[in-house]
Structure formats: structure tokens, C-alpha cells
Structure 1
Amino acid sequence: MFRILATALAVLITAFALWWLSRGIIPPSTVRFAAGIENGGYWHIAEQYRDILAEDDIDLKLIPTAGSAENARLLANGKADAGLLQGGITLDRDIETLGAVFTEPFLIFAHQTDGTSVPTNPARWSGLRIAAGAAGSGTRAAATSFFNAAGLSNKSNTLLPLGDAEAAKALADGRVDIALFVAPLSAPYLSTVLADADSTLLQLDHTVALSRRMPQSIRVDVPSGAFGLNPPLPPEPVTLLGLVARIVGQPDLHPAIVDRLVEAARRVHESGNIITPKDKFPSMDNTSLPQNAYARDLIADGESPLNGFLPYWVTAQISRFAILLLPIVFLVLPLLRALPGLYQWSIRNRVFRHYARIREIDNEADATDDPETLGALRAELIELDRHIAALKLPLPYRGYAYNARMHIDLLRKRIALRESETSTAATG
């Protein structure tokens, strides 16, 4: 019986595994990827991902957008399968993160000439012209979050829809007082403001308080000379706010695609840069969104050793099934441990359930002197003995039947003695 139950359970688990693996074991050949502004920073990173996925014949279709905010909309509307998302961008539906991949400094440059100065405490900004990124861009979303953290109202300053190269030129020309950028230090358009003697990278006051009020932000230490060494720019180390960018994807993104995107992120980002130590990314820290379970394990444990022997998409399916099977195993193991006890109980119960009637017969025999009643009880015991003797029990459990029959025999003899004594008393 136990073997039958264990075999049935194994068959069910195997059937479930085959059914699950059959649900799209081969990954799609094309993946839609929301990649931000064409030829922008995110776009160039997405191009590197595309080249890596092409090694496995996966076509990463890059979708140009206005920035992270539009990336989020495309993902929410199901018009993109995966994409890059700037830190602080939120989503209304369940999109999963495949990992944080790099930190983007939140750069604040001010145009300061003799007699004019922009306060380093942003709460004191008032009446300033601020290039805060185009509508729908990640820079505008970060600027909004920053203003909220600093306690600035929308009417305190004039926000202009200028970003990247346009914002850099407007700052150098003196058409804006502040330009905000969410960009890598190597962004080419920053050379315009770096070359302008009147443009200064602001070292804000209260960066700790600001970072704790801005979602997905951290403090970033930028060493002197990070932009250039001759002359050193910045001349002194500065501490800036930084936003953690993430790769995100649909909850039903094929595990093989998750596998390749995580591997692409590892190859592109693990070497670090001037503000990020080696091997910091990819990571599941500072991601905020629900985490893709397979991506989380890949980042924590690295590539599966099976990748050296099996195609990556087979390994991905095996790993996915292992993740799904784990909760089932935790449920099934206690059941497997309980099965022998349940089986033993069921066998014993086939014999022991008759003891209730045996006890009743014993009590009834003690309570009567009627020969007919005693004879009927003895006859019932004989029938019980025949029934228990006919039970087909496994060899290790036959002792239960022998013990029951012995008890019946003892009780039957005692009743027969009572019958004899009663009959003698009646005839005497």
C-alpha cells in the first residue's frame, strides 16, 4: 500500500513537471525592449544587451521612447516585454525586476556668475529657471521626486522642458539658472557644461535627508578628477544623489529570456566604473518592484553548472521547475513521512475496530444469567473470530489478528463456563 501511494505521488509530480515544461520550453526569438531615447545612455546600454542576446539568436527589438516614464507606460500597457527603468519610477501593475544594474548620478549644475549664487540648500531655491527634463523623461520624474523631497512647490521656480544636450547648452548660454541631469559621468553632452567657466556642479547640503526622502536614491561619492584630470573636474570629491536603474520585465517573461538578460547585465555591468565598485551589479538591492524569482537566484548563485552541458534554455526551464517544485516538496515531505504511520493505522484499524463490540459482549455477558443470551453472545464471538481470521493482512501485521482471536477465544471460554454454571444451577 505504501509503495502504491509513493509511486502514485511520483507519477503525479512527474506529470506536473512534463506539463509545465511543455508550456513553452523553447524561448521566443524576439523580445521587445523599451530602451529610452534613441542614441541616449540607456539606448547604448540596450545595444550592448542586444549584441549579447544575438549570440543565442535572440532578437532584442529596441523600442525608442522619451525616457523611463514612457518605458514604464509601455510595460504597463503590455507593449514591451522588458526594459530599463530609472530609479524612482513606479508602475501601476505587477512588473517584475530582473535586477538593479547601475547607478546614475543625479547631477545638478548651476550657472553662477559674479554676484549671483545658487543656494546649496535646495529648500531655499526660489524664482529660478530650472531645466528639469522633457515631459515623460526620467529626468523630469527624478526632478519631481527631488522637489518633493526638498519641500519645493511647483510655483517656487520655473521648470523648463529641457533635457540632456538642450539643457547643457541652455545652462552654458545663461538661459537657465540650474540644469538637472540623470546621466553617467561619461555622457557626451556634459562636456558643454564642464567647459563653461560659469557652470558649477553643486554639492548639496543635507544629502542624507534628501536620499531618504527620494524613492530609490542613494548617496554617491564622486572622486576628484572623475570628469577629467587636466584640469581635475571636480577639483574636490563631492557627494551626490544617485538613482539605481533596473532591468524590468513582464511577470510571464520566458525564463530563458530572463537568463540571457541577467547574463547580459552581468557582462556589461559587473566591471563597475569610477563611482561603482567591481561586482556590485547586477544586484537585487534597491529594486522596490517584485523580484523575478529565477533572476534573483541567478544573481545570488551565478550561472547553473548545467550550462556547460545543456543549452541555456533547457537549463533555464530546469531551474524554473526547481523553483516551482520547492514549495511542493516542502508540502509533500511531511506527507511522505506520515504515510507509513497512516498505513499502519489503517491496517491496525481493520482489526481494532472489532474490539468495541468485543468489550460490549464482555459487559453483556457479565450482566446476564440467561443461558439463551449467553449462547447468542458466544455465537457472535465465533462469527467475529471467523471474520478476523479471514482478514488478509500483510505478514508484519498478522499479530494484531492473532491477539484479537486469542482475546475472543478467552472470552468465549469464559462465557461457555458461565453457561455451564447457569445450567447446573437451574437443574440443581
Structure 2
Amino acid sequence: MPKILKFTQFSLRDFLVAAGPAALAIVVTCLLAYWLVDPSPPSQVTLSTGQENSAYEAFGKKYAAALARFNVHVALKPSQGSQENLARLQDPESGVDIAFVQSGSSELEAAEQKGLVSLGSLFTEPVWLFMRDTRNITQLSQLRGMKINVGPEGSGVPALFRKLLSVNGVEPKQLKLSSLENTPATVELLAGRIDGLVFSSAPDAPLIQMLLQTPGIKLFDFALAEAYTRRFPFLSHVVLPRGIVDLGRDLPRKDYHLIAPTATLVARADLHPAVVDLFVQAATDIHGGAGWFHRKGDFPTASYTEIPVSRAAQRFYKEGPPLLRRYLPFWLANFFERMWVVVVALGALILPLSRIIPPLYVWKVRSRVYRWYGQLRAVEQAIEDVPHDLQADVYPAQLKRLNDIEDRVNRISIPLSFADELYGLRSHINFVRRRVTGLMRAEP
């Protein structure tokens, strides 16, 4: 049986020798492409949210729950607000990958220099100015001398409120501005120790809902809202409809005009595209419904942001979720979507290699036969023009050499499809042997 196994239809050893370098090239190419396209998204990202009881905090929890379904852990990192979130994104040491940022907080050139991209606008967050009901204030210019809380500097409200005061001819030093966080500021307002407080938040925030229904607290009506939006393009004019808070109690009792920046999701430009897709998909589920200030389907959107929108987010808004993502699990769909580069690279390699390897395999098998022809030529050269006094030694030595060559040739393992070349070699050995023996007989 071992002798029979020497003669097979196919030589695996020769094939491995012939195809080995090509297989190694393919493996290296696949590993390089895998590393370049980075198909595996991170299992954890950090989202910078906002203050306690803020809309940013509430929505951050919803995003964490949405991405947990895809085994991506979202670590929530509280902050003072938009400005601190933006600063964290610009600081690589902060560990923050994505954050809620209010429109108008940055400029296009600055965002591009810092490597930031927007994932789209999520919702409008109106400027809410709550005051005690004893104050009859209709213009921001009437706030001079009052105690107004604008929130900590890490939020976007202080800078925005100063811009609003400036277009009304009011200097910040003409007011008594405080920087308490939202929750303690609300306590101060209810206790009468401050005259008003400013929020910029979605109406979902618990403190907004509470203050809209608290007796003795009224909301400032931005009657000149349209004029503000013309002066500040990142603002939009929204209306809080009468009765939207509580239809049974008719709260509020009239329409209120408000000015509103938009909340956007901003991320580092190197955030994995698959994670970007997950956040945009979650944003569609969380913010896609109708709200107090928008119709169903208005948000999320690539509009209302001064920061350039990432390509992955733009593609999602135009085409929806990728086709494979609709039918396959997230990780598998992402792998196929990202590894098309490997498929192209393999095609570019396999096509030419499919024409090189078969001839290389044939040459490798035949070389095991052909290399013995060199030995035969050496024998023939050794018996050419041998002096008469050396013939008695040379001819027997070359005949012994031929016998050794034949013995080694008989042990060659070769596929049956190449057996004719092996038998041809053996016949040529016999031919040289006959020539040697003929010369030995002719020796005087």
C-alpha cells in the first residue's frame, strides 16, 4: 500500500509548494485590508450629556438603551452643557467620543480644524425665560437690575443670552447674573431669591414641564422672535401652542413665541462609521416622531448645523439604513459592508494567480524528473574521450553511478498523470547504460 500511495492522481506536496507563496500573499492582503477598513466597531463609546434633570441627560439614557441592543455600551458622562461638551470633544484626553452640542456653539472652520463632524440636528431646544408672575416684562431691555440665572459657563446658555442682551442694548453688568445649575436655580426662583432663570432645552426636560405648570411662574413671550432669527441664523422661530401643556386646564392660556437653537449630535471624525450608523438610527427612532415644535419626520436632519455632517450620516439620511442591515444582525452586516475591499483585493490577486499556479505546479512536478537529466549528461560527458589507460576505471565507475541514479529514480513519488515522463527517464538511463557497456566491450 505505501508503494501504491506514491503514485496518485495529484501531488498535494507539489501543489502546496507551488501555491504556498500565492496563499501567503492572499493572507497578507486580507489581513492588511482588514486592518485598513477596520470592520469591527468598538464595543464601548462615551457620550457627554448635560446637567441633572436636563433633556440631554434624559436623551442620553435613551441612546444608551438603544445601542445596548447591538452590544455597544454607551458610557454617559454628565456635563454642564453644550460648551463643556464641545471642549471635551476637542480634547483627546477627555475620552469623549460623541456629545450633545447646541447649534451656534462653534464655527465651521473651527470644527474642521478640530476634526469634528455632526451626525445631524435632533430637536429644537427653545430659550425658556421663566420669571415670577409679579414681573410684567415684555422686552429683554426691561431686565436691567434684575437677578437672572443663566446657568454655568459650561452650558451654551450664558453665551447665547449675552448675545440676546447685546442686540437689545443691554450690557451683562447691568444685570445680576448668576451661574447656578438648573435644579438649584429652580429652587431659588420658587423661593423668590432670584427674579428669573434661563433654560435652553427641549420641552421633555422635567424642570421645564414642572415650571410650565407651577402657579406664580410665567414664561417670557419673545414677541420679536422672527427678528431674532434674522439676526442669528442658527436660531429658529417656534410657537408654544395654547393648551399644549394641559388641555384640561388650558395651559398655557395663549400662544407663546420662542426662539430656539437646535441640539445636534457631534462626534470625533474618527468615530467608527458603524457606530455613526447606530447613533443615527437611534436618533431616527428617538426623535423621529411629532413634538411640540415639529411634525413627524422633521427630525433628525442634516440641516440646522454649522458643523459639517459626516458622510455616513448623510448617506443614512438620503438612503436609509444599509440593505444588509435590514436583514442581518448588526455585526454580520457591518462585516460584509466593510469587507468589500477585501473581496476586491482577493479578486485582483486570484485572477492572475489562477493562471500562474497551474503551470507552476506542472513545472514543480516535472522538475523532480528533469533534474536527473543533468546527472545523465554528467555521465555522458564523463565517458567522452577517455584516455585508454583510464577507461578501465572510468567506465565501471560511471556504470555504478548510473545504477545509483536508477535506484534513486525508482523511489520518486510522482502523480500518475506524469508517469510517462518518469518511464521516459528510466528508458534514457538504460540508453546511457547500454552506451557505457558498449564502450566497455569495445575496450581493447
Structure with max Cα Rg: 2
Q: Residue 141 and residue 24 in structure 1: after superposition, are their counterparts in 2 closer, same or farther (change >3 A)?
A: same
What runs of 5+ residues in structure 1 fail to find an aligned partner? 1-14, 324-428
Equivalent of 2:90, from 53, 59, 76? 76
Alignment TM-score, normalising by the size of structure 2: 0.63
Equivalent of 1:221, from 205, 218, 239? 239
Match of 1:104 in 2: 125
Say whether the 8 Å CA contact 2:39–2:339 is kept in structure 1.
Answer: no
Task: Give the Cα–Cα distance (whole angstroms) in 2 for the partners of residues 292 and 236 of structure 1.
Answer: 40
Match of 1:201 in 2: 219
Structure 1 residue 197: deviation in Å?
3.6
SS at match of 2:131: strand
Cα displacement string for residues 262-316 of structure 1 (whole angstroms, at most 9, x for unaligned residues): 0110111101212221111110110110110110110122112222344445655
Task: Give the Cα–Cα distance (whole angstroms) in 1 for the partners of residues 249 and 291 of structure 2.
Answer: 20
Task: Give the Cα–Cα distance (whole angstroms) in 2 for the partners of residues 171 and 183 of structure 1.
Answer: 18
Residues 1:154 and 2:175 aligned together: no
Equivalent of 2:51, from 37, 61, 81? 37
Alignment TM-score, normalising by the size of structure 1: 0.65
Say whether the 8 Å CA contact 2:130–2:198 is kept in structure 1.
Answer: yes
Task: Give the Cα–Cα distance (whole angstroms) in 2 for the partners of residues 155 and 288 of structure 1.
Answer: 30
What runs of 5+ residues in structure 2 fail to find an aligned partner? 1-28, 342-444
Task: Give the Cα–Cα distance (whole angstroms) in 2 for the partners of residues 258 and 126 of structure 1.
Answer: 45
Say whether the 8 Å CA contact 1:172–1:192 is kept in structure 2.
Answer: no
Superposition map of 1:29-428 within 5 A: 29-78=43-92, 79=94, 80-90=96-106, 92=110, 93-113=114-134, 116-118=135-137, 120-190=138-208, 193-214=211-232, 216-312=234-330, 315=333
Cα displacement string for residues 2-44 of structure 1 (whole angstroms, at most 9, x for unaligned residues): xxxxxxxxxxxxx899737743111111111112224532112
Say whether the 8 Å CA contact 1:185–1:227 is kept in structure 2.
Answer: no
Question: Between the two proteins, what is the percent identity of the paired residues?
Answer: 29
Q: Residue 179 and residue 59 in structure 1: after superposition, are their counterparts in 2 closer, same or farther (change >3 A)?
A: same
Task: Give the Cα–Cα distance (whole angstroms) in 2 for the partners of residues 77 and 23 of structure 1.
Answer: 25
Task: Give the Cα–Cα distance (whole angstroms) in 2 for the partners of residues 50 and 133 of structure 1.
Answer: 26
Task: Give the Cα–Cα distance (whole angstroms) in 1 for the partners of residues 309 and 325 of structure 2.
Answer: 23
Match of 2:438 in 1: none
Say whether the 8 Å CA contact 2:243–2:253 is kept in structure 1.
Answer: yes
Say whether the 8 Å CA contact 2:51–2:181 is kept in structure 1.
Answer: no
SS at match of 1:145: helix
Task: Give the Cα–Cα distance (whole angstroms) in 2 for the partners of residues 215 and 16 of structure 1.
Answer: 49
Task: Give the Cα–Cα distance (whole angstroms) in 2 for the partners of residues 160 and 123 of structure 1.
Answer: 18
Equivalences, count: 306
Q: Residue 17 and residue 217 in structure 1: after superposition, are their counterparts in 2 closer, same or farther (change >3 A)?
A: farther
Cα displacement string for residues 348-393 of structure 1 (whole angstroms, at most 9, x for unaligned residues): xxxxxxxxxxxxxxxxxxxxxxxxxxxxxxxxxxxxxxxxxxxxxx
Q: Residue 310 and residue 112 in structure 1: after superposition, are their counterparts in 2 closer, same or farther (change >3 A)?
A: closer
Cα displacement string for residues 141-191 of structure 1 (whole angstroms, at most 9, x for unaligned residues): 332333234342121211111342322232233222222111232432235
SS at match of 1:181: strand
Task: Give the Cα–Cα distance (whole angstroms) in 2 for the partners of residues 50 and 266 of structure 1.
Answer: 14
Structure 1 residue 102: deviation in Å?
1.0
Structure 1 residue 320: deviation in Å?
7.3
SS at match of 2:172: coil
Task: Give the Cα–Cα distance (whole angstroms) in 2 for the partners of residues 286 and 307 of structure 1.
Answer: 28
Instruction: Give the counterpart letter for 2:261 in structure 1.
Output: L
Match of 1:409 in 2: none
Q: Residue 160 and residue 38 in structure 1: after superposition, are their counterparts in 2 closer, same or farther (change >3 A)?
A: closer
Task: Give the Cα–Cα distance (whole angstroms) in 1 for the partners of residues 45 and 206 of structure 2.
Answer: 29
SS at match of 1:232: coil
Task: Give the Cα–Cα distance (whole angstroms) in 1 for the partners of residues 167 and 34 of structure 2.
Answer: 47
Cα displacement string for residues 173-219 of structure 1 (whole angstroms, at most 9, x for unaligned residues): 32222221112324322355345443221112321121233352111
Q: Residue 151 and residue 314 in structure 1: after superposition, are their counterparts in 2 closer, same or farther (change >3 A)?
A: farther
SS at match of 2:205: coil
